[in-house]
Amino acid sequence: MPMVVYALYLISFVVGFTSVIGVVIAYVYRGKGPAWLDEHYRYQIRTFWIGLLYATIASILVLVVIGIPLLIALAVWLIVRCVKGFRGLQEKRAPDNVDTWLF
């Protein structure tokens, strides 16, 4: 299921609401697997909420033009976090630096 959540996050670039479905899945499955999978769910939940905060700030700053590059940076940030998570899943280990606000 963690791979599905990462995929839903990436699909949210095309269909905006899939990230909400992804975070709900992460909350539902959290605590029901091995520790390394629980870390992925925690990472995914943090990715959603931190991304929402960044998106809100960038959207407000669009009014002063600074928000446009910030939205692009947010897209790169989300892609990097998802790729990092996919890699960790393939290696059957938790993602590095789960508590970070960056990558």
Per-residue pLDDT reduced to its tens digit, 24-59 = 999 999 999 899 999 999 999 999 999 999 999 999
Quote the strand ranges of 1-103, DSSP E: none
pLDDT at 98: 83
At 74, which amino acid appears?
L
Distances (CA, A) of 35 to 27, 56, 58, 98: 15, 32, 34, 13
pLDDT given at position 86: 92
Mean pLDDT across the chain, nearest whole number? 92
| 85 has a pLDDT exceeding 80 | yes
Its pTM stands at 0.90
